[in-house]
């Protein structure tokens, strides 16, 4: 088999302890960048590889290798990787919008076997939510923060006083007999040709009402690509808690993944050789 090497194409100075690395696996692209852990800024322009049409674990792992090689990431740099599904101890437990063969795949182990790197693997919305609390729209907010990402599906992150409760999966709440994301995700707005007003008042309003009733957050943060158009739909949603757009937009996953990997590296004792 021919091994393709991509070579380091972006030079980065990996100052120990202050630079981490994040990769965000999405339905259309796999994006990575080094992250300055002190302020959450990207330390270089992000690099994007299109998600393979057949998004199997092997195909995606090759993309992860390409991203890591592009930045010549050293093995001691903490690496965080997001996945759009439930992740428990590095293992993928659900895959609503990527290939079904991901289910039960140990992504952390796959990355190690393919690239030689140890990585912390987290749900994509959890990473984005953690980033918004640490460096973005929910910075300094005490109490319960609920971050919802509106995209192909709906992702959720629940953070209480800075601590993340992982894998809440509120996109799949059953509301009025439907899996909520099949009614309220922004992909549904596109697919059904709904106006912002119709989407906000007929789909998102009901969704936010149910989530607010169940969790009574102190703040809602709304992310996902569509949040760049927030002024067209957020003011139409009525909630008790304030509702604000995400500040880190499409970089939140990368930043949060790097921050969570750094936190894990600091919490755990160094692995014995
Ligand atoms: C998945 C979640 C994910 C969300 C956003 C949902 O379909 O179940 O795990 O966070 O999409 O990608």
Q: Which class would CATH give 2-126+259-267? A: alpha beta
Domains 2-126+259-267 and 140-247 share a fold: yes
Q: 0.85 exceeded by the pTM?
A: yes
262 Cβ below 6 A of ligand 1: no
Is pLDDT of 271 > 90?
Answer: no
Mean pLDDT score of the chain: 94
Instruction: Give the tens place of pLDDT for each residue, 72-130.
Output: 999 999 999 999 999 999 999 999 999 999 999 999 999 999 999 999 999 999 999 99
Which one of 154, 172, 173, 178 would you pick to mutate in the ligand 1 pocket, going by the greatest count of ligand atoms within 8 A of its CB?
Answer: 154
Residues 124 and 149 sit within 8 Å (Cβ to Cβ)? yes
Domain ranges of the chain: 2-126+259-267, 140-247
Q: Is 46 helix (H, G, I), strand (E, B) or coil?
A: coil
Which one of 28, 83, 123 would you pick to mutate in the ligand 1 pocket, going by the greatest count of ligand atoms within 8 A of its CB?
Answer: 123
Identify the CATH homologous superfamily for domain 140-247.
ATPase, nucleotide binding domain (3.30.420.40)
Instruction: Give the tens place of pLDDT for each residue, 49-80.
Output: 999 999 999 999 999 999 999 999 999 999 99
β-partners of residue 220 are 146, 243
Residues 52 and 99 sit within 8 Å (Cβ to Cβ)? no
Rounded to 5 degrees, φ, ψ at 239 are -135, 160
Residue bearing tokens 């952390």:
108
* Distance between CA atoms of residues 266 and 273, nearest Å: 17
124 Cβ below 6 A of ligand 1: yes
Hey, CA dihedral for 223, 224, 225, 231, is it positive or negative? negative
DSSP state at residue 42: B
Q: Which of 272, 164, 106, 140 is nearest to 219 (CA)?
A: 140
């Amino acid at each position: 088999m021919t091994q393709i090497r991509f070579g380091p194409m972006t030079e980065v100075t990996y100052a120990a302890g202050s630079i981490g690395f994040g990769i965000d696996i999405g339905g259309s692209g796999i994006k990575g960048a080094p992250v300055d852990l002190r302020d959450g800024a990207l330390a270089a322009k992000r690099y994007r590889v299109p998600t393979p049409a057949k998004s199997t674990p092997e195909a995606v792992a090759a993309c992860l290798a390409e991203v890591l090689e592009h930045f010549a990431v050293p093995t001691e740099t903490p690496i965080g990787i997001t996945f759009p599904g439930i992740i428990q101890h590095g293992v993928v437990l659900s895959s609503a919008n990527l290939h079904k063969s991901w289910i039960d795949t140990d992504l952390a182990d796959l990355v190690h076997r393919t690239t030689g790197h140890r990585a912390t693997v987290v749900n994509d919305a959890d990473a984005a939510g953690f980033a918004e609390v640490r460096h973005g729209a929910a910075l300094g907010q005490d109490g319960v923060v609920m971050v919802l990402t509106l995209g192909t599906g709906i992702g959720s992150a629940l953070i209480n006083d800075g601590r993340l409760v992982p894998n809440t999966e509120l996109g799949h709440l059953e509301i009025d007999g439907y899996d909520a994301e099949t009614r309220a995700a922004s992909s549904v707005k596109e697919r059904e040709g709904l106006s912002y007003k119709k989407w906000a008042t007929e789909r998102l309003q009901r969704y936010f009402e149910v989530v607010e009733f169940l969790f009574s957050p102190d703040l809602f943060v709304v992310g996902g690509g569509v949040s760049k158009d927030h002024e067209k739909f957020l003011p139409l949603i009525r909630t008790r808690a304030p509702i604000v757009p995400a500040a880190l937009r499409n970089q939140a996953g990368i930043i949060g993944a790097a921050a969570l990997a750094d936190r894990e590296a600091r919490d755990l004792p160094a692995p014995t050789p």
